Amino acid sequence: MKMVEIAMPTNLHIKPTLSFNPSVSISTRHLRKKPKETKTRKLGSVFATSSTSSNKTIGEELWPRSEPFGNNKEKRTSKKRVFFLDVNPLCYAGSTPSLHSFGYWISLFFSQVSLTDPVIAVLDGEGGSEHRRQLLPSYKAHRRKFSSGSSAQQKYPARRSHVVMDILTKCNVPVVKIEGHEADDVVATLAGQVLQRGYKVVIASPDKDFKQLISEDVQIVLPIAELNRWSFYTLKHYISQYSCDPCSDLSLRCIMGDEVDGVPGIQNVAPGFGRKTALKLLKKHGSLQNLLDAAAVRTVGKQYAQDALTKHADYLRRNYEILALRRDVDVELEEEWLVERDKCYDSIILSNFFKFIIARHLDSHEDNRGMHVLNVKILEMGECLKKGEEGGKRRKGKANKELKNEDFSATDIVEATASYSRGLQEHDYGV
């Protein structure tokens, strides 16, 4: 049996007070009126048998592409947005687990990015990397698990997860966590279902793996620590950075490998097959599958490249299955996840959350200097939140204008996130 844990907003509350007991992160005293347009249901865990259908990889694209990059401009402008929030990386400040970081980035996200648009939060499930590790034992093998260590350290992620889920549900955000699946695959599956219903998708995450999903109707919004803001990363940025479409870039990663994820490239078994050769062949054939199909019936390049492609075709297909995000996770999009998010009590909930994590020292093992800087940011954010929703409404137009990022090139954005990403890449993000 696989566990599908879906935390949904229940009857929401006014002025939530924070519990002294860390195992019960937030308690409430007064019920607040249920929003008329918002369907809600009680928090709970739903047990379901997860299908073990094989991953759809070579020869199939992640999204059907009857059009090159989505619908025409007139249709795109009328589409509503649905945000997916990749929670796990936000719970780290650099390489250090941090609820301070989560609170800071969530506050900016709600007040400047998503506003009242629907948000679906996704967390990694237990054993989420197991499928890929069975295919390749070295997959993420070098990443340290925070849960390894003392019993006190092992209890911390569970407590932090409870607090994070509690905050999100009280802010009217459904939380999805599926045992045996990484958050990336759950997002890819649900994003496909959202696109089929005519919405645009925005994925809030620093994870580079989501770049393979980018299209006219799928964007990424990145947390930029150096700029203290979220920044949109679009298909325009992607093409400017890589000079290819996302499908070709995924194929290139499969050929060259991914050192961060512990996936070896073809050069490990076929020396001399380098990046220039791979780019030249992909430019001609378009995708890894097309290249392998062509190599099976005729010579596609120099003899060393031809020999490598025919001899190590299964090696490359395995890399594709590991690096391509899955879209066959057994999870169904629910209608209530697509309604506008009621944000009228964000300021109360998040302000109390900031006070709670500072007062209880939940991040006491963090670097003191880093905590001081982040505490200052949190206190500043708390002051902004106290100004109320009217200020947020006045900033709405300005925030959307600023987040277009026309003043930043793709290179600027990538360089700005480099140090942040390096810290995140050292860890599995089990919370």
Q: Are 252 and 241 in contact (CB under 8 A)?
A: no
Residue with tokens 């594709």: 320
Intrachain domains 2-243+326-424 and 246-323 with the same fold: no
How far is Cα 318 from Cα 320, in angstroms, rounded to an integer?
A: 5
Q: Hey, what CATH topology would domain 246-323 get? A: DNA polymerase; domain 1 (1.10.150)
Q: Is the dihedral of CA 230, 380, 374, 353 positive or negative?
A: negative
| Phi, psi for residue 160 in degrees, rounded to 5 | -65, -40
Give the CATH class of 2-243+326-424: alpha beta
Kind plus residue range of the DSSP H or E element containing 93: strand 92-93
What are 118-140's pLDDT values in tens digits?
A: 999 999 998 888 889 889 988 88
What are 4-35's pLDDT values in tens digits?
A: 677 777 544 434 444 333 333 333 333 344 44
pLDDT of residue 273: 92
CA distances from 43 to 5, 8, 63, 154 (A): 10, 5, 32, 25
pLDDT of residue 381: 55
Backbone φ/ψ region at 82: left (φ over 0), alpha (ψ -120 to 50), beta: beta
pTM: 0.71
pLDDT of residue 378: 53
Domain boundaries, the chain: 2-243+326-424, 246-323
With 0-12 / 13-18 / 19 or more C-beta atoms within 10 angstroms meaning exposed / middle / buried, residue 69 is middle
Query: What residues contact 1, with CB distance under 8 A and at least 6 apart?
Result: 47, 48, 49
CA 345 and chain centroid, separation: 25
pLDDT of residue 6: 76
pLDDT of residue 305: 93
DSSP structure class, residue 199: -
Per-residue pLDDT of the chain (431 residues; tens, 9 = 90+): 455 677 777 544 434 444 333 333 333 333 344 444 444 333 333 333 343 344 443 333 433 333 333 444 434 456 899 999 999 999 988 778 889 999 999 999 999 999 999 999 999 998 888 889 889 988 887 664 544 444 444 455 677 888 999 999 999 999 999 999 999 999 999 999 999 999 999 999 999 999 999 999 999 999 998 899 999 999 999 999 888 888 888 999 999 999 888 999 999 999 989 999 998 999 899 899 999 999 999 999 899 999 999 999 999 999 999 999 999 999 999 999 999 999 999 999 999 999 888 776 654 444 444 444 445 555 555 555 555 444 445 444 444 443 444 444 444 444 444 444 444 443 333 33
Q: Are 132 and 322 in contact (CB under 8 A)?
A: yes
Query: What residues contact 428, with CB distance under 8 A and at least 6 apart?
Result: 124, 129, 140, 143, 144, 145, 146
How far is Cα 225 from Cα 218, in angstroms, rounded to an integer?
A: 23
pLDDT of residue 387: 52
